[in-house]
Structure 1
Amino acid sequence: MPEFTRRDIARGVALLGTMATLGDGSPLFAEALDAKTKAALALVNPELLSIARKEAAWRNGPPLTKNYLNIRKQIDGSVAPPLPDIPFAKHSIPVGKGIPDVIIYVINAGGTKRPAILHTHGGGFVLGSARSEIRPKQEMAKALDCTIVTVDYALAPEATYRVSVEQNYAALKWLYDHAATLGVDRKRIAVMGESAGGGHAALLAIVARDRGEVPVMFQCLIYPMLDDRTGSTRMPPPGIGVIGWDVPANVFGWRSFLGQQPGTATVPVTAVPARTKSLAGLPPAFIGVGSIDLFVDEDITYAKRLIDDAVATELHIVPGAFHGFDGAGADTSIAKQFTHAKMNALRRAFGEQSV
């Protein structure tokens, strides 16, 4: 029977959202793997196989629809302590339009015209928190010598996209308006997110383009959740989207975010990056995803559409990698290579040399 550590939980659950628990909070494991899972495991990069088996062991637990509140509690209880040498500050900023104020964490402010990243966390629109991102974003801010603002946007199903999108935009606008005080270069502000946070970052780039108030210069989308039709009206090929975030979780996440059934003709275009008619005029993009991630097809399609609309785009596909592999398997060489590519894409966007 596999054993999970606190580190496993902290790295994986915020993005994958697939951990199951018994009523007393103890882990529930599946000793036997079904044929679908076995077939998917055969596609996993060998370096990630032991991690994938751990992820697969959670599959027979309570579905996300019934367990997301428990998972939120586990995320809150697994937050890594912040680094003592990289400052961060908590702010509550107004949003307006009858929408509640939003909490943000400003990391590594100060200095002289540093680049900045507006970050939105992952969790399928229903999980995750900005507080859990403080430590990893301190590490990123230190490595890039930049300022990062991570947003504690309202989660679904308690709040739909109408709330969270406006909260994220308010945070971006606040970062831009307070650039001088924060020591940020207004001309070097990027958006970034993972999974649902990648979807939010893509939406943020679109909203910023359409409103014309904040000139976003780059979008870094890590296995972004871009299309509500995945798993609802478009089913993935065999072996895709089995390890980690899967079809039932995806349908629940989108239904919660949209406030209606995903995949229908009535889904609002403003809530779904993949439904945006034109991507022309968006900032350059880095999109990274694993080849057996549920989002691989929608991410490839989005990258192609960006390219077709004359948006400079780097698409990085990792063979045999599943959703959230770089967090769950951060110590593997394949995850380190992926992270290295992501960090260098940000460095180049900021006008600095790759390392």
Structure 2
Amino acid sequence: MAETERQKMLQALKKAREAYAQRAVTGERFIVPRAGKRGVDVILYEPKERKAGQRLPVLFNMHGGAWVGGDAVLMDSFCVKLANEIPAFIVNVNYTKADVEPVSYAMEEVCDAVAYFAAHAEEYDIAAEKMSVGGHSAGGQIAAGAALMLRDGGTRLACQMLVYPATDVTAKDTDEWLPFAFPDGADRTAYNSPLLAADERLAGLSPAIFIICGIDELRAQGIAYAKRLIDLAVPVKIKEYPKALHGFIEVNRPEYEGDERRSPEQDLLCKDAERYLIQELRACFAEKTD
């Protein structure tokens, strides 16, 4: 990519982010404070109905977009659905994109957000022992890396939701932006490419729930990572949709318009996958004692 093309891309991304920031959302926009660092932009969702005194489980959700695109607002209705039907407290993370900070920075944002809400569990009526991370595509890679980073820091999650995740960024076609997205060497860090991590780094990770697309260049990575976790006795649930296109859960939502991947068939698969995720997340949280 020529430098002029790169600059055009970056300007287009900046304009898109400015537009996303003006969109109305169902949840509540919030900035997670961090000492000495820029706060983390998130959107918060609570169920319409909750039992008196009920402490809700928590899911930190990360959208896709190849690390440089997309926005948390594009998963607004997905987060509403999970909040109401699990029920759960959803933290929809609008992580810093890779053209601004390396991907590892986004993982640190997730970890700091988890720590903040764990420390303020009583204020939000949430269960600190029932926290989970989840993401889609590039967001799945961020979630997987954050789960490992949190475990290394002593935080045990209830589970991790990995929806057609990237787990080995060295397998992706090398784009011009990859060097600034992964300056610390994508093939050398367990956080960036957990599929390549040593067994001792992955053993003992929190249970994982996988959604895999049949028509997807990331399919092999997701399956391979699930198998590695299974071999290391990490509890894994996995469901593959052979006819699903990459991104089918996101693009068939009302926030997406004009995406060529949308179709009635893909929408039915999307709804089934939503039901599966709600069922498995609910079961995962139920295994934790109050």
TM-score after normalising by structure 2: 0.80
- In structure 1, what is the Cα distance between the partners aligned to 2:55 and 2:86? 13
In the alignment, what sits opposite 2:181? 257
CA contact (8 A) 2:31 2:39 kept: no
- Contact 2:33–2:39 (CA under 8 A) maintained in structure 1: yes
Q: Secondary structure at the match of 2:30?
A: strand
Higher strand share: 2
Q: 1:275 aligns with which of 196, 204, 207?
A: 196
Match of 2:69 among 109, 127, 150: 127
CA separation of 1:224 and 1:142: change in aligned 2, threshold 3 A: same
Amino acid at match of 2:33: I
Q: How does 1:96-111 map to 2 (within 5 A)?
A: 96=36, 99-108=37-46
Deviation at 1:326, TM superposition (A): 2.3
1:1-355 to 2 correspondence within 5 Å? 67=9, 69-70=11-12, 73-74=15-16, 77=19, 81-83=24-26, 88-94=28-34, 96=36, 99-108=37-46, 112-212=54-154, 214-231=155-172, 247=173, 251-252=175-176, 254-259=178-183, 267-278=188-199, 279-330=202-253, 332-351=267-286
Quote the Cα distance in structure 2 between the aligned partners of 1:121 and 1:156. Answer: 13
Q: Distance in 2 between matches of 1:272 and 1:94?
A: 26
> Computing the radius of gyration over CA atoms, which structure comes out larger, 1 or 2?
1
Aligned residues: 265
Q: CA RMSD in A?
A: 2.8
Q: Distance in 2 between matches of 1:350 and 1:295?
A: 28
Q: Percent identity?
A: 26
Whole-Å separation in 2 of the counterparts to 1:145 and 1:172: 18
- Using the TM superposition, give the Cα deviation of residue 128 of structure 1 relative to its aligned residue in structure 2, in angstroms: 2.2
Distance in 2, matches of 1:146 and 1:230, equals 35
Structure 1, residues 31-56: CA drift from partner, whole Å, max 9, x if none?
A: xxxxxxxxxxxxxxxxxxxxxxxxxx
The structure, 1 or 2, with the larger RCO (C-alpha pairs under 8 Å, 6+ apart) is 1
> Structure 1 length as normaliser, TM-score?
0.67
Gaps (5+ residues) in structure 2? 254-263
Deviation at 1:261, TM superposition (A): 7.0
* CA distance in 1 between partners of 2:277 and 2:214 (Å): 16
- Contact 1:125 1:253 (C-alpha < 8 Å) held by counterparts: no
